[in-house]
């Protein structure tokens, strides 16, 4: 407390200098309107923070958090440098108080309501204004609003926000709880903190198997004081629904501070659809919802919109008081057709600007709300499959089945305030460039920022949105559940306007963890934890989702789960990983990850992954020279997955041979490259299997796979992890390979003993397919082997031109094919088509290939407009015979703005050619490819730079290596 008084003394005029006070007048006086709303933004650098046991205070920033505040003051160096995640843990173990001052005018206090609006406090905070206690908070995912009118005075005011150590708080909560709630602590490799499940805070800030522990505190989102008369709009939930051939847009507007009754008018406009409407409304309770409903596409008949009723839920009256009939909205949309929102690769993700404003009965305008809305439907289809057990599990967007291709998203930084829109755009555009159409926002991080969801809308990236519960049981007492209820209500209302969000999931791996990890079948306590799981997941989370977003999206209780089957089995399935139902998470670090036969073939793979190291370039800023060696203490410190290094080493030994350079740093560089090859090929093997199995089912009913989300897209720090993009944005080899294995057209083989099967997978963009009526997938397992068919009427089997296919065998030691099998495929009947079946030994004989070790397969298909290729070694590189060191030559360098084109040739067959241009941010058109299989053939490449780049500099920095460069 001494620290506190010191702190206040030290504020003085300095804070006022920095304080940005913005009065927001939302409507121009020129139009004769008066604003009913003014706002004092408390964001900015007009803050001081003091550690309650250090007696010192430092300038601070909002939004922000204590680690970045201390970094700016030079108290902390880069927290990600070497071992600093542990060295700086003291920061999270004490309490911190933020203080600021702001000026309030007499007029400001004349408004009916003066509210402190906290968009995000991380996490356990006490708020005081002029040293008057306002509130205590304990959930970083909630928006809090507090009436502070009585606490304010004209002139200078002070606000204190004091945060408790989240680590200490979680520990105290767990001690006060009547029983242990597992998992208590993370594995020692994670070097993290315990009891993350006892605090509603980003779980991975207590550490994860790919990330450090930085349980920071601070005001992590906007903070403002707003003053207004009459009700205020808090959320707008547009929902578009397709009604026969037309669309219906329904907009629910949530109000706060209604009082007993209020009236006014809502204006809503969508200029591109000629919609501009204003309607009188009457509100009769707090938290009122007004629902505006109208058809959008021109429809000649007069349509009556059904009257919606008021209903009572948990003491909250949800009242749809205003019902519009289409004729009330006479002027809009005549003759205008709605453009649909399509996922990436399936059409344009079209968005419409919409503006909503409330004007109170005195004619005063509230803030204008600008939204971007998309017209699309989403359905999760779980139907019985004829001839196979289980249910289907696939998404239909705009009534078209979509094979989901993507990966999993984790927080992009340990400190949310460092995640700019540019960084997010870099990551989301990278996902789109790798032909992804979905990301799963994983449940151990945060509900992401508005920028993230806006970008997902723009890029057509569907989102599988977990609620933020992961890998744990939770203390489901009344207080905790009430806290969660507020959190889920806020987040569903905040997020459901986004066209990108396709599905809600109750949590990450809590159902599976409950059944398979945290409790043995004979655990006598199991029922108690089961009840807690149901109270949280079903009675709270699902209940809120049903209330707040009842129509527009599917809900699964957990990921993975058996979907509908999980619900039938009482919300926890006997085997949540059953491949015949729902989604599956698959990790196996023992079997051969390059052998497709070891993988389960689920209906939908929402996680599967392998680790690799990030590049030396990414590690350099956070390491010293002595760290850059295999098994250094730095490497050990960064590896949070138990046995992670030995698993990668074993996999490399199995597939590629371990690195052997006598120079330790070079050996480490080679090791990084080999881990990336191992990861890329492993994930490629699994992803291709899932795509091949879209239309096929095994005799035991596995298959008809309709989704592949590998673990994980991005990184939170520089370390060995499962990511395909490094911290800082550099693509790993996996990300380059994803461009191909997620492309519309894919030629892919499966070798099983002597049998070689080749599949051609071709997706027609959903927006170009036949009308919806003929689209839905009806899976049917066929008894005849090897062909298993589904009756999908939806796909492309249209008038697409025929394909020319070339299947060749090459000898590693000779440029040019030994033999090729060329044929024509006229018509594709399915999305995934078995187009070639042969006996490999006889193919080897025909091509005079001496042995499997000497040769590889090269596959190519083209239909004039599109082409794809693939190469598959017939033995692992450990045994390959004939591979030689190669010279890779660069030519034809040419620059157009931020793009550099060039050509490459190689004088020997070179697998996994890896290009780097150290220090230049950007990515290549291809990387990790095969070069030189045709003598003298030039291949073209492009480097897409993030910033402008000099051609000379690029040519000096460009380095190419291939597999044999490792084994000198
Ligand atoms: C799954 C995920 C994450 C984890 C990953 C890799 O369990 O849901 O919790 O990081 O696998 O182990």
Which domains, and CATH codes, for the chain?
Answer: 37-227 (2.60.120.260), 231-300+314-327+338-374 (2.60.40.10), 745-765+801-882 (2.60.40.10), 888-966 (2.60.40.10)
SS3 at position 173? helix
Ligand 1: centre distance to CA 80 (Å):
21
**Region for 288 from its dihedrals, namely left if φ exceeds 0, alpha if ψ lies in -120 to 50, beta otherwise:** beta
273-278 — which CB contacts under 8 Å span 24+ positions?
A: 273/332, 273/333, 273/336, 273/338, 273/352, 274/331, 274/332, 274/333, 274/334, 274/336, 275/329, 275/331, 275/332, 275/333, 276/331, 276/332, 277/328, 277/329, 277/331, 277/332
* Host H or E run for residue 68: helix 66-72
Which ranges of 299-447 would DSSP assign to H, the alpha helix? Answer: 421-433
For residue 208, report the distance from its CA to the centre of ligand 1, in Å. Answer: 8
Does residue 466's CB lie within 6 angstroms of at least one atom of ligand 1?
no
d(CA 324, CA 864): 52
Instruction: Convert the pLDDT of each residue in 259-307 to its tens digit.
Output: 878 889 999 998 888 778 888 888 877 666 777 665 554 333 333 333 3
Whether ligand 1 lies within 6 angstroms of the CB of 651 is answered as no
State if residue 610 touches ligand 1 by the CB under 6 angstroms criterion. no
Q: What are phi and psi of 544, to 5 degrees?
A: -65, -40
Give CA–CA dist 471/872, Å, rounded.
37
Q: Measured between alpha carbons, how far is residue 847 from residues 18, 838, 872 in Å?
A: 77, 13, 16
Out of 39, 119, 417, 607, the active site residue is 607
Q: How far is the CA of 163 from the centre of ligand 1 (A)?
A: 30
Is residue 583 in contact with ligand 1, taking CB distance under 6 Å? no
Q: Which two tokens stand for residue 159?
A: 């606000």
509 is catalytic: yes
Q: What is the pLDDT of residues 872-885, one digit of tens each?
A: 999 999 999 999 99
CA 141/CA 160 separation, integer angstroms: 20
Atom 7 (ligand 1) nearest CA: 509
Sign of CA dihedral 495, 496, 500, 506: positive
Residues paired with residue 268 on neighbouring β-strands, in sequence order: 277, 356
- Cβ of 711 closer than 6 Å to ligand 1, yes or no, is yes
**252 forms bridges with which residues in the sheet?**
237, 291
Beta strands 707-710 and 404-409 are parallel
In this prediction, residue 53 carries a pLDDT of 78
CB of 508 sitting under 6 A from ligand 1: yes
Q: 39, 193, 417, 509: which is the annotated catalytic residue?
A: 509
208 lines ligand 1 (CB under 6 A): yes
Taking CA 16 as the corner, what is the angle to CA 15 and CA 17, rounded to the nearest 5 degrees? 90
Report the candidate in 450, 293, 434, 283 with the shortest Cα–Cα distance to residue 360.
283
pLDDT of residue 286: 63
Whether the Cβ atoms of residue 796 and residue 769 lie closer than 8 Å to each other:
yes
The answer to whether the beta carbons of residues 888 and 930 sit under 8 Å apart is no
Q: Is 210 in the pocket of ligand 1 (CB under 6 A)?
A: yes
Contact between 961 and 659 (Cβ < 8 Å): no
Inter-CA distances, 386 with 383, 696, 704, 712, Å: 9, 13, 12, 34
The CA 49 to ligand 1 mean position distance, Å, reads 35
What pLDDT, on a 0 to 100 scale, did the predictor assign at position 436?
Answer: 98
Q: Which protein residue has the closest C-alpha to ligand 1 atom 4?
A: 209
* 783 three-class SS: coil
Q: How far, rounded to the nearest angstrom, does the alpha carbon of residue 931 sit from its chain's CA centroid?
A: 33
Beta-sheet pairing, 555-556 with 501-505: parallel
Nearest to residue 407, comparing CAs of 436, 371, 374? 436
pLDDT at site 302 = 31
Mutate which of 202, 209, 212, 644 to test ligand 1's pocket (most atoms within 8 Å of Cβ)?
A: 209
* Cβ 812 under 6 angstroms from ligand 1: no
Using the atom order of ligand 1, give the atom closest to the CA of residue 609. Answer: 6
Long-range (24+ apart) CB contacts under 8 A made by 431-435 are 431/406, 431/407, 431/459, 431/461, 431/713, 432/344, 432/459, 432/460, 432/461, 433/739, 433/923, 434/724, 434/735, 434/738, 434/739, 434/742, 435/344, 435/345, 435/405, 435/738, 435/739, 435/742, 435/743, 435/744
Nearest CA to ligand 1 atom 6: 209
Q: Are 686 and 599 in contact (CB under 8 A)?
A: yes
Q: Which of 585, 612, 682 to mutate to test the pocket of ligand 1 (most atoms within 8 A of CB)?
A: 585
What letters, b where the CB count within 10 A reaches 16 and e where it falls short, cover 682-713?
bbbbbbbbbbbbbbbbeeebbbbbbbbbbbbb
For residue 80, what are the contacts with CB-CB under 8 A and spacing of at least 6?
Answer: 212, 414, 622, 717, 718, 727
pLDDT in the model for residue 258: 84
Say if residue 573 is exposed, middle or buried (CB neighbours under 10 Å; 0-12, 13-18, 19+).
buried
Residues 6 or more apart from 559 whose CB is under 8 A from it? Answer: 440, 443, 464, 466, 505, 507, 508, 509, 583, 585, 606, 607
Return the closest-CA partner of residue 710 out of 807, 604, 630.
Answer: 604
**What residue ranges of the chain have pLDDT lower than 70?**
1-35, 243-245, 286-288, 292-336, 771-776, 782-801
Q: Is 505 near ligand 1, meaning CB less than 6 Å away?
A: no
**Nearest protein Cα to ligand 1, atom 12:** 209
Distance CA 130, CA 438 (A): 48
Kindly give the number of the ligand 1 atom that is closest to the alpha carbon of 470.
Answer: 9
Is 684 in contact with 581 (CB distance < 8 Å)? no
CA of 251 to the centre of ligand 1 (A): 37
How do 501-505 and 462-466 pair as beta strands? parallel
Nearest in space to 387 (alpha carbons), one of 831, 698, 834: 698
- 3 state DSSP class of 40: strand
Count other Cβ atoms within 10 Å, centred on residue 550: 9
Nearest to 711 by CA among 639, 641, 609, 614: 609
pLDDT attached to residue 771: 62
Supply the pLDDT for residue 294: 57
Please enumerate in sequence order all residues whose Cβ is within 8 A of that of 882, keeping only pairs 6 or more positions apart, or say none.
Answer: 811, 812, 813, 814, 854
Residues in the chain: 968
Report which DSSP code applies to 110: G
Ligand 1 centroid to residue 529 C-alpha, Å: 22
CB neighbourhood size of 97 (10 A): 21
Q: Answer yes or no: is the C-beta of 796 below 6 A from any ligand 1 atom.
A: no
Compute the distance between CA of residue 650 and CA of residue 321 in angstroms, rounded to an integer: 66
- At residue 422, the 3 state secondary structure works out as helix
Decide whether any atom of ligand 1 lies within 6 Å of the 102 Cβ. no
């Amino acid at each position: 407390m001494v620290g506190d008084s010191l702190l206040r003394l030290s504020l003085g005029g300095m804070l006022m200098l920095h304080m940005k006070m913005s009065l927001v007048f939302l409507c121009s006086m020129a139009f004769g309107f008066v604003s009913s709303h003014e706002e004092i933004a408390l964001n900015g650098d007009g803050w001081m923070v003091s550690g309650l046991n250090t007696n010192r205070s430092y300038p601070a920033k909002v939004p922000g958090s204590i680690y970045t505040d201390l970094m700016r003051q030079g108290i902390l160096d880069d927290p990600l440098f070497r071992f600093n995640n542990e060295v700086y843990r003291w920061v999270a173990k004490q309490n911190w108080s933020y203080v600021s001052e702001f000026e309030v005018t007499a007029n400001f206090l004349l408004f009916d309501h003066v509210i402190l609006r906290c968009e995000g406090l991380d996490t356990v905070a006490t708020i005081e204004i002029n040293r008057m206690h306002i509130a205590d908070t304990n959930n970083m995912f909630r928006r809090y609003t507090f009436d502070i009118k009585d606490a304010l005075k004209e002139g200078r005011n002070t606000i204190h926000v004091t945060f408790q150590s989240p680590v200490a708080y979680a520990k105290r909560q767990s001690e006060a709880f009547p029983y242990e709630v597992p998992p208590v602590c993370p594995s020692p490799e994670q070097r993290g903190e315990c009891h993350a499940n006892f605090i509603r805070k980003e779980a991975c800030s207590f550490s994860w198997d790919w990330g450090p522990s930085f349980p920071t505190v601070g005001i992590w989102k906007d903070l403002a004081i707003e003053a207004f008369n009459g009700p205020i709009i808090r959320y707008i939930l547009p929902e578009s629904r397709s009604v026969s051939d037309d669309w219906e847009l329904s907009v629910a507007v949530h109000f706060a501070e209604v009082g007993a009754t209020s009236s006014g008018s809502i204006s809503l406009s969508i200029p591109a659809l000629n919609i501009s409407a204003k309607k009188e409304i009457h509100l009769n309770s707090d938290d009122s919802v007004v629902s505006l409903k109208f058809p959008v596409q021109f429809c000649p008949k007069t349509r009556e919109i059904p009257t919606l009723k008021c209903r009572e839920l948990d003491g909250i009256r949800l009242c749809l008081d205003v019902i519009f009939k289409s004729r009330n909205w006479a002027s809009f949309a005549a003759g205008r057709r709605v453009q649909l929102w399509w996922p990436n690769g399936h059409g344009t993700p079209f968005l419409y600007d919409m503006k909503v404003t409330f004007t109170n009965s005195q004619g005063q305008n509230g803030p204008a709300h600008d939204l971007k809305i998309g017209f699309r439907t989403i359905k999760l289809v779980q139907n019985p499959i004829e001839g196979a057990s289980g249910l289907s599990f696939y998404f239909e967007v705009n009534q078209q089945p979509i094979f989901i291709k993507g990966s999993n998203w984790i927080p992009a930084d340990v400190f949310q305030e460092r995640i700019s829109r540019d960084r997010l755009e870099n990551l989301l555009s990278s996902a789109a460039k790798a032909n992804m159409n979905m990301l799963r926002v994983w449940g151990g991080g945060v509900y992401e920022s508005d920028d993230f969801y806006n970008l997902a809308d723009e890029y057509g990236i569907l989102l599988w949105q977990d609620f933020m519960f992961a890998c744990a049981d939770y203390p489901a007492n009344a207080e905790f559940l009430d806290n969660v209820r507020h959190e889920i209500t806020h987040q569903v209302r905040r997020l459901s306007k986004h066209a990108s969000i396709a599905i809600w999931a109750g949590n990450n791996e809590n159902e599976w963890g409950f059944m398979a990890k945290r409790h043995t079948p004979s655990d006598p306590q199991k029922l108690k934890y089961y009840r807690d799981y149901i109270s949280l997941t079903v009675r709270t989370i699902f209940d809120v989702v049903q209330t707040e977003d009842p129509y527009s999206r599917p809900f699964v209780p957990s990921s993975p789960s058996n979907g509908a089957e999980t619900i039938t089995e009482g919300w926890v399935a006997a085997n949540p990983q059953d491949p015949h139902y729902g989604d599956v998470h698959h990790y196996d670090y023992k079997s051969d990850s390059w052998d497709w036969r070891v993988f389960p073939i689920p209906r939908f793979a929402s996680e599967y992954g392998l680790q690799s190291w990030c590049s030396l370039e990414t590690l350099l800023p956070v390491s010293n020279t002595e760290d850059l060696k295999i098994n250094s203490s730095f490497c050990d410190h960064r590896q949070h997955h138990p046995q992670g290094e030995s698993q990668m080493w074993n996999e490399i030994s199995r597939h590629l041979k371990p690195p052997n350079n006598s120079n330790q740093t070079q050996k480490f560089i080679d090791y990084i490259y080999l881990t990336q090859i191992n990861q890329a090929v492993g994930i490629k093997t699994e992803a291709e299997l899932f795509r091949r199995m879209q239309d096929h089912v095994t005799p035991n009913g596995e298959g008809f796979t309709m989704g592949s989300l590998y673990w994980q897209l991005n990184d939170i720090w520089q370390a060995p992890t499962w990511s395909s993009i490094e911290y800082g944005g550099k693509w790993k080899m996996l990300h380059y390979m994803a461009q191909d294995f997620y492309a519309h057209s894919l030629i892919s083989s499966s070798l099983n003993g002597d049998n070689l099967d080749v599949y051609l997978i071709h997706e027609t963009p959903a927006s170009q397919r036949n009308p919806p009526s003929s689209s839905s997938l009806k899976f049917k397992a066929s008894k005849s082997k090897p062909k298993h068919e589904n009756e999908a009427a939806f796909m492309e089997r249209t008038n697409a031109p025929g394909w020319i296919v070339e299947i060749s065998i090459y000898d590693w030691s000779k440029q040019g094919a030994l033999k090729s099998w060329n044929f024509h495929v006229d018509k594709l009947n399915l999305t995934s088509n078995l187009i070639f079946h042969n006996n490999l030994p006889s193919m080897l004989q025909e091509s005079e290939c001496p042995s499997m070790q000497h040769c590889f397969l090269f596959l190519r298909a083209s239909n004039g407009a599109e082409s794809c290729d693939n190469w598959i070694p017939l033995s692992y590189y450990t045994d390959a015979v004939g591979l030689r060191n190669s010279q890779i030559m660069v030519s034809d360098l040419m620059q157009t703005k931020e793009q550099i084109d060039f050509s490459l040739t190689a004088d020997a067959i070179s697998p996994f050619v890896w290009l780097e241009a150290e220090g230049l941010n950007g990515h290549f058109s291809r990387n990790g490819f095969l070069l030189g299989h045709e003598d003298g053939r030039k291949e073209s490449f492009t480097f897409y730079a993030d910033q402008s780049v000099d051609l000379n500099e690029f040519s000096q920095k460009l380095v190419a290596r291939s597999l044999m460069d490792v084994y000198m």
